[in-house]
Amino acid sequence: MDFKKIFLFSLIFLFSFFNFTLAATLFLSPSSGTFNVGKTFSVTVKVDSGGGVGINAAEAVLSFDSQYLQVNSVSKSGSIFTLWPVEPTFSNSKGEISFAAGSPQAYTGSSGLIISITFLAKKAGTAKVEFKSGAVLAADGKGTNVLSSMSSATFVIKEAEPFLEEKPKEEKETLPLANLPPKPQVFSLTHPDPEKWYSNNNPEFTWELPFDVIGVSFSLTKNPTSDPGLVSQGLVNSKKYEKVEDGTWYFHIRYQNKAGWGPILHRKVLIDTTPPEILEFSIKKEDPTDPKPVLTFYATDTLSGVDYFQILIDDKEFATSSNFEEKLFQIGPLSFGKHKIELKVYDKAGNSSSQVKEIEIEPLKYPIFTTLISKEGEFSLQPPAITKVLPKVTTQDWVIIKGTSVYPEASVKIYFTKEGKEPIVKETKTDFEG
């Protein structure tokens, strides 16, 4: 009797020991491969439950060399897990992919699909994809972490063969495509014209799903002929990207039906969020009283190009032009006093830069009257010998007024007025000395 109790206790102990010593493994498939620059390929994250009671949750953070690889998409289609506390996400700037998933049912098996990753080969070299951290939880009611190992993958990226052409491949795809889905038609409210630059770096695309389509694959790359891959990202009819870098991009999309994958649409997207650069802006005015100064300016824009410029004087639009051949632009006439001159330059994406200059137009200096001569004699018009009582002058009398001016050969108008009468205006010119 004692022997039976000891034996039964030993079995229970062994059974419990094996339940809690599962050895789950996270691994990548394929673990190696060789791919050409500009091509896309898929890598799946899988789990080996290690037997026992099975598993019902897993999480991980993976790292990849963003110098050589770029993630186009991450898909959870076909995954053994149905619950996603942390949706599969990726960052090409950090070179990271992360997820956290679970399922009400336990999984036991040696190759359980968790997520699929579509990479773009960017640059020749050796790229490594590995797990930074991870956990696999047993379906034991306690959430015991049974992860024992994580396997990395190494891929060789080669320069594309110089004489390989992809057109025959496209022809092979199109020849037997009688029953395959058509090439998608893509629309964009944020970027409606593929040949126009936009300052919006959050492009959004929409498309209609034909009745027989069962999958959609898409990606956004700088390669005009990229393949979005053969992994469906669900029956979705729109996609929005956020904070896309400046430059020329291409949205790639294809449909899948029961006959297979259809042809790829490559849709150009032009993004420029950088304003033009004003390299020169100055005001030329040799004469401080000149009411028509000349502006000199030059601007450049590296992506979309400079479109047009505006000149504002005291916050009011003075001129708008797209003629950048002439670097000199005359403004005015301006009234005397201080003025704010603003130059605004716009690029073809609608971005703008501006610079402000201040200018002061000095008033003309009045001529100085020194002497008045009439039939009654000569009278001083300047202190300290200024004559307080000037002679009376009638319209029949002659009068001579002498004076000086800082402006040689300038016109001078003299007004003789009598209260309640129209003034008499006489005009003369200064000599070459003023």
Q: Which of 17-31, 196-210, 368-382 has the highest mean pLDDT?
A: 196-210
d(CA 195, CA 197): 7
Is 70 exceeded by the pLDDT of residue 309? yes
Q: DSSP for 66-79, please give it.
A: TTTEEEEEEE-TT-
Cα distance between residue 430 and residue 204, in whole Å? 72
CB atoms near residue 117 (< 10 Å): 24
pLDDT class of 14 with cuts at 50, 70, 90: very low
Domain boundaries, given as residue ranges, for the chain: 21-158, 168-262, 277-361, 368-429
Q: Which element (helix H / strand E) includes 12? A: helix 2-19
DSSP letter, residue 392: P
pLDDT tens profile 57-73: 999 999 999 999 999 99
**Which of 265, 217, 264, 202 has the alpha carbon at shortest distance from 75?**
217
Count of CB atoms situated within 10 Å of the CB of 300: 13
Nearest Cα to 345, choosing from 318, 374, 320?
Answer: 320
423 within 8 A of 399, measured Cβ to Cβ: no
**Higher per-residue confidence, 423 vs 273:** 273
Q: What percent of the chain has pLDDT over 70?
A: 84
* Beta bridge pairs of residue 253: 218, 265
State the pLDDT at residue 431.
79
In terms of pLDDT, which residue wins out, 130 or 319? 130
Phi, then psi, of 4 in degrees rounded to 5: -65, -40
18 confidence band (pLDDT: 50, 70, 90): very low
Place of tokens 């409606």: 192
**Cα 251-254-260 angle, rounded to 5 deg:** 160
29-32: long-range contacts (C-beta < 8 A, 24 or more apart)? 29/111, 30/153, 31/151, 31/152, 31/153, 31/154, 32/153, 32/154, 32/155, 32/156
Are 64 and 95 contacting, i.e. CB atoms less than 8 angstroms apart? yes
Tokens of 219: 């990606």
Fold match, 21-158 / 277-361: yes
Question: What pLDDT shows up at residue 59?
Answer: 97
Return d(Cα 279, Cα 272) in angstroms, integer: 19
pLDDT, mean of residues 20-31: 84
| φ/ψ (deg, to 5) at 290 | -65, 120
**How far apart are the two ends of the chain, measured CA to CA in Å?**
139
**What H or E segment, with its residue span, contains residue 114?**
strand 112-121
Bridge partners, 59 (sequence order): 100, 135
DSSP for 177-191, please give it. Answer: TTSSPPPP-EE-SSS
> In this model, does residue 9 exceed pLDDT 50?
no
Give the C-alpha separation, 234 to 386, whole Å.
100
Q: Which residues contact 411 (CB under 8 A, 6 or more apart)?
A: 427, 428, 429
Mean pLDDT of the chain: 85
CA 95-96-102 angle, to 5 degrees, is: 165
List for the chain the helix, strand, coil content (%; round to 5): 5, 50, 45
The residues pairing with 156 across neighbouring beta strands, listed in sequence order, are: 34, 126
Q: Does domain 277-361 have CATH number 2.60.40.10?
A: yes
CB 50 within 8 A of CB 146: yes
Check whether domain 21-158 has CATH 2.60.40.680, yes or no = yes
Which homologous superfamily does the CATH classification assign to the domain defined by 168-262? Immunoglobulins (2.60.40.10)
What pLDDT sits at residue 175? 45
Question: CA-CA distance, 300 to 277, in Å (whole number)?
Answer: 5
